[in-house]
Structure 1
Amino acid sequence: MSDRLSTTFRYGRVTLSRRGDLALILTVSLLTTLLLMFWSYKVKAACGGPPFFPDGRSHRWPVGDPDAVVPCYSDLMYLWIGRDINNHVFPYIHGGIGADGQLFGGAVEYPVLSGLFMWLGAIGAHTDLEFFRHSVVLIAPFGLLITAMLAVLTRWNVLWWALTPPLVLYAFHNWELPVVATAVGAVAVMAWGASIHPVTGRRRMTLRTSAILAAVVLAVGFCLKLYPGFFVLPLALYVLTRGGFTRSDDPDGSGRSDEDASTPTRGPLDWVGAAWVAAAAAITVILIQLPFMLLGYEGWRAATTFQGKRRADLDTNSIWYWGLRHLTGGQTDTYNSLVGVLSPILILSSFVVAVYLGWRLRHRTGVYPWIGVSAAMLAGFMVFHKVHSPQYTLWILPFFVLLRVRWPVIVLYLIADFILDTTIFRLFGIYVSGEPMKWWVMAGVNVGVWVHAVLLVYLIWAFVHAGMREPLASIGRRRVPAPYDPPEPDDVGPGDHIREDA
């Protein structure tokens, strides 16, 4: 019995050895996250500092040190001017968008919760560097929270997040970490709900309850940067299929079966539970958005209008600008019309493909892979949207941690990402300064864009079929003693029967 203590679970209790391992993993991953975020702060802060113009813009902006390996550009500083953030105007309430597409009066192009973060970061700030520093204080805790959740869910695989270049490149590039925390948080809520209580031997929360809470978290993410809202659909489909259990398996909605079976079986669909998931997300979004709609509808609507009018040009950095533009003779009316039609069609098509692949896999395994489908939908959105900012790597990186994606794919994606970041923002600096374009800068941008595009298309399929990493994949599995092996308090070994219950 003793030789099994360090490797097995029993009714959700983790052995002392596993707890010690987790403490080590949390310590290492949190320390590396702090180190990389501090590095990111130093890199980005180099774009600010005295002397300043009267509006608080640093003379160093936006080039900083032109010889630095990692360019200092950061949206946290860029948006200090042009959105009335420097004037401390409360967002959306008094703003709007002009006929020329320019925002004014506190309106910003981000969803309302991101706008609130910007306003909070500007309190007490009088320069772009002060605004940056205040924003770092607001954002940094979310980076640590993401690391902690991924460490618990995936153990040492968290280092794909906590010890790779994207944290240095993008932790304080934009307001990405809060929204990433909601996407990972929804997975964590579902995992916690599916975990087995050590006393009762049952789920800590019913499938419906945990999914409704996860949907609320995703809705908050939607009000930060939209994309977590996409994940409500696969989550609802997971609940619709009862997580793979029949009504007889799960009569009380607890998500726990008393039968000994190796795989879940299909049964009646839970339409009511799926509807509750969708409704919870919708109600949360309405409650967050409604005050802004009532107090300043034009300013609130300006964010959507701005995105609708946005063109796929150099600063959007998408496959459309670096590909289709060459086939239409530049950014012509034909180019803009094609992008306006093809981009949403291909995004919706990728969503349909991801959902279909998940449904087909469910027929083989009995479980709808909602996390994999969510990641696949994100990959489709990233590759076909007319905007593909490099910092979106932080969106997809947690799914490399949560899902069993092949390591060469992850490494290739991260290499391409580093090449893209260190060239695209140098390219912007060259355009601003009027210096001659360097061939390797243009080549690096194209390599980064197109390697990402190819990998993202591949990942639409690969994410769905990847499966979850351990221990996430085993959370909620209840070990049932075989008839010939009477249950003892801790006598559970790798050969015992396992029931998937998550």
Structure 2
Amino acid sequence: MTRSTSLPGPAGSVARAALPFVPLGLLAAVGAILAYAWKAPCRFGGAWNDGTQQFLNFCYTDIYPLWWNEKLDQGVTPYFGHPVEYPVGIGSLMWGIQKLVTGTSDPGVRFYDLTVIVMAVSLVAGVVIMVALAGLQGRPWDAAWYAVAPALILTAYINWDLMCGALSLGAFLAWSRRAHFLAGVLLGLAIATKFYPVIFFGPLLLLALRTRKLSPFLWTLGGTVITWVVVNLPFMLLAFTGWKRFYVFSSERGADWGSLWFFFQNRQWPFLGDAARLDTLGIGSFALLCLGIALLALIAPTRPRLMQLCFLVLAAFMVTNKVWSPQYVLWLVPFAVLARPNWKPLALWQVAECWYFFAIWLYLVHVQSGGEALGIGDGAYFTAVWARAITIAIMVAFVIRDIMRPEHDIIRQGGVDDPVGGVFDGAEDRFVLRAPTRPVVREPAPGPS
């Protein structure tokens, strides 16, 4: 007789339910530790204080220099004493950690360390939430991509993006469980931390229109607006000049590192490289891609899954943005995996992102005075810029193919519809932009004469 190794009864059920969460949560903790170790030449070797060495050791972070750049070292309160170039979610975290490290030895390093702890917790939380989302799709182990993706380890602690990622994923978990107002609250907090999650309302609206399930969408929108206003209003009323710095800075900045617009301007392309047209080109191209996504969502033979549309709109935003920092890969990893968990294009994209990570720092060494012999020039750098854009385009093409031909969608095998879609899962189409399929009328077989 074969002896079972599983626990019987309720204890066994709990163990089986916890199985993906515990090892993947621990794997995320390993990823967080590896990301911290990657910064060792700067954190422990002093390379942050050398403009060239921090690039040659590939351990640059925004967090450490912002201790001084945002005047936190002077005891100034963000927004009230100094305008901060980040939304209030990040500024508030800066202020809280500033209070904890002021008066300690080497407070700049302590500021970095405590910020990293928050980001590490955000990574673990984000991976655990993604386990739940991927588990709804029958593939909980796909969350390992988010836990230890190579590009994640390289970029995890450049900025505060992991915190926004956890909030965004939490919002979609709430949506999948039909807690629509809570989804809105979490999206409001995410938008108050990094502004990009506002674009997720596009996919939600498109699917709400196609299914005519507008009430859940409006509840989520209401939760987002209320939360964002509650979080931002005190700063708007009491420190408006400091509060608006992020929005003014975002609108006024030019084409920056990593963006395709930076390539066009560097190479002086006609029209596309015109700096005076940058805002028009960026907004216009993003709007055009969003229009294409909207048409795709409303003409597809089968309603697209929510994660597919979220991935497409986020990819469109990144490719058309004026800035494409290395850590933006953190935005896309979970949505790319949830949209199409196929390892080959994901691995190709990770290679391109890692290539870009090393290329940007070597390029910055090159453009610094006297660094030409150590870094790389325009040709190698812009090859890396285009490599990640092309690999994302490849993933986009596969997702579009899956939408137009759902039999190729890995998630939809076996009659599954949209398990992360909440109210959209199994919903009937009510509004489409294609002509209805006419039933085939078969002529009866002729009978005996």
Tell me if both proteins adopt one fold, taking TM over 0.5 as the criterion: yes
CA contact (8 A) 1:427 1:442 kept: yes
How large is the RMSD of aligned CA atoms in angstroms?
3.3
Counterpart of 1:33 in structure 2 is: 28
Equivalent residue pairs, number: 402
Partner of residue 278, structure 1:
221
Q: Are 2:384 and 1:448 aligned? A: yes
> Residue 189 in 1 paired to residue 210 in 2?
no
Match of 2:165 among 180, 190, 195: 180
Distance 2:272 2:385 in 1: 23
Opposite residue 109 of structure 1, the aligned amino acid is: E
Match of 1:135 in 2: 115
Deviation at 1:225, TM superposition (A): 0.9
Label 1:17 to 1:356 Cα distance change in 2 as closer, same or farther (>3 A): farther
| Partner Cα distance (2:109, 2:196) in 1 | 29
Is the contact made by 2:260 and 2:319 (CA closer than 8 Å) also made in structure 1? yes
| Cα offsets for 1:414-449 (capped at 9, x unmatched) | 001111111212322444463224575655432321
The one of 436, 439, 453 equivalent to 2:372 is 436
Alignment CA distance shift 1:468-1:191 (3 Å): farther
- Structure number with the higher helix fraction is 2
Question: For the structure 1 residues 47 and 23, does the alpha-carbon distance in structure 2 shift closer, same or farther, using more than 3 Å as the test?
Answer: same
Distance 1:319 1:334 in 2: 10
Q: CA offset at residue 24 of structure 1? A: 3.4
Answering whether residue 42 of structure 2 is matched by residue 47 of structure 1, we say yes
Q: Note closer, same or farther for the CA distance 1:190–1:279 as it changes in structure 2 (3 Å cut).
A: closer
* Alignment counterpart, residue 422 of structure 1, candidates 329, 336, 358: 358
Q: 5+ residue gaps in structure 2?
A: 1-5, 135-139, 404-408, 429-449
The answer to whether structure 1 residue 347 and structure 2 residue 286 are counterparts is yes
Q: Deviations over 1:235-278 (max 9, x none)?
A: 2343444xx4xxxxxxxxxxxxxxxxxxxxxxxx3444443333
Q: Which residue of 2 aligns with 1:259?
A: none
1:280-299 equivalences in 2 (<5 Å) = 280-299=223-242
Q: How does 1:153-168 map to 2 (within 5 A)?
A: 153-154=133-134, 155-168=140-153
Aligned to 1:214: 183
1:234 is matched with which residue: 184, 189, 203?
203
Give how far 1:212 is off.
3.0
The superposition leaves residues 210-242 of structure 1 with CA deviations (integer Å, 9 ceiling, x where unpaired) of 23321221121111111111112322343444x
Structure 1 residue aligned with 2:346: 410
Q: 1:45 to 1:441 in 2, by over 3 A?
A: farther
- In the aligned structure 2, how far is the partner of 1:377 from the partner of 1:476? 17
Amino acid in the other structure paired with 1:112: V
Change (3 A) 1:447 1:333: closer
Structure 1, gaps ≥5 residues long: 1-5, 7-13, 52-56, 95-104, 194-209, 245-268, 479-498
* Corresponding position of 1:359: 298
Instruction: Give 1:59's match in structure 2, choosing from 49, 55, 58.
Output: 49
Per-residue deviation, 1:345: 0.6
Q: SS of the counterpart of 2:49? A: coil
Superposition map of 1:371-386 within 5 A: 371-386=307-322
Q: Matched residues in 1 for 2:13 and 2:379: separation?
A: 47
Whichever residue aligns with residue 409 of structure 1, its letter is P
Aligned to 1:398, which of 319, 331, 334?
A: 334
CA contact (8 A) 1:380 1:456 kept: no
Q: Shift in Å at residue 311 of structure 1? A: 1.2
Q: TM-score, normalising length from structure 1?
A: 0.72
Alpha-carbon distance, 1:454 to partner: 2.1
Give the counterpart letter for 1:395 in structure 2: W
Please give the secondary structure, in 2, of the residue aligned with 1:327. Answer: coil
Is residue 23 from structure 1 mapped to residue 23 from structure 2 by the alignment?
no
Q: Secondary structure at the match of 1:86?
A: helix
Q: In 2, Cα distance between the equivalents of 1:110 and 1:156?
A: 34
Q: Which amino acid aligns with 2:65?
A: Y
Among residues 189, 194, 198, which one is paired with 1:225 in the alignment? 194
| Partners of 2:48 and 2:397 in 1: CA distance | 45
Q: Which amino acid aligns with 2:94?
A: M
Which one of the candidate residues 114, 117, 124 is aligned to 2:90?
A: 114
- Any idea what the Cα deviations from partners look like across 1:36-80, whole Å, max 9, x if unmatched? 2112112224224587xxxxx9534562483x4xx0111111322
Q: In 1, are the aligned partners of 2:260 and 2:385 still within 8 Å (CA)?
A: yes
Q: Which amino acid in 2 is paired with 1:326?
A: R
Question: Which TM-score applies when normalising by structure 2?
Answer: 0.79
Cα gap change, 1:292 to 1:65, in 2 (>3 Å): closer
1:81 counterpart letter in structure 2:
W
Q: Is the 8 A contact 2:173 2:420 kept in 1?
A: no
Amino acid at match of 1:77: Y
SS at match of 1:174: coil
Q: Quote the residue 1:99 is aligned against.
A: none
Tell me the secondary structure at the aligned position of residue 67 of structure 2: coil
Alignment match, 1:97: none
What is the DSSP-based 3-state SS (H/G/I as helix, E as strand, rest coil) of the residue aligned with 1:173?
coil
1:300 aligns with 2:287: no
Matching residue's letter, 2:85: E
The answer to whether 1:84 aligns with 2:71 is yes
Change (3 A) 1:289 1:439: closer
Aligned to 1:248: none
